[in-house]
Amino acid sequence: MSSDSSVGRRISIMSGHHELTVHALSGSAESFTLSYSITPPLPDDLATAGPSGPPVFMWLEAVDDLGNHYDDFGGAHGLSPDGRRTSGSISGQPGLPPEAGSLTVRFMFMAGNDEFGYDLTFAPPPAG
């Protein structure tokens, strides 16, 4: 199993207007889930101030080091309690096999006519 992981890494996204941080990767036999935050908040999470841009749609594409592909399994996001970021989770399915050594996730974002993709590689979550 690889010890290299993108958990905790911050990357600039959407033409430098936002920053994505993945805080955790968890998993089961059925699926895996990534918890993340985006700073500043996504436009559609700023309901009290009114959206400051087009809605942002997010999904994932993933593949492990064995060549297995994983489908987006949905997620949820909203404004953090302090109002400074979007907090959310996004899942993929099926779960990773025990022999997988790494998982590369492409985070996809679409805002208006613009589409952005960012690849991050993670060590699989501990079995359990």
Compute the distance between CA of residue 98 and CA of residue 110 in angstroms, rounded to an integer. Answer: 33
Residues of the chain with pLDDT under 70: 1-4, 47-52, 127-128
- Two tokens at 73? 């399994």
Strand partners, 109: 58, 116
Label residue 48 left, alpha or beta by phi (over 0 means left) and psi (-120 to 50 means alpha). alpha
Compute the distance between CA of residue 124 and CA of residue 2 in angstroms, rounded to an integer. Answer: 8
Which domains are assigned to the chain? 10-122 (2.60.40.1640)
| The pLDDT value given to residue 3 | 39
| The pLDDT value given to residue 2 | 37
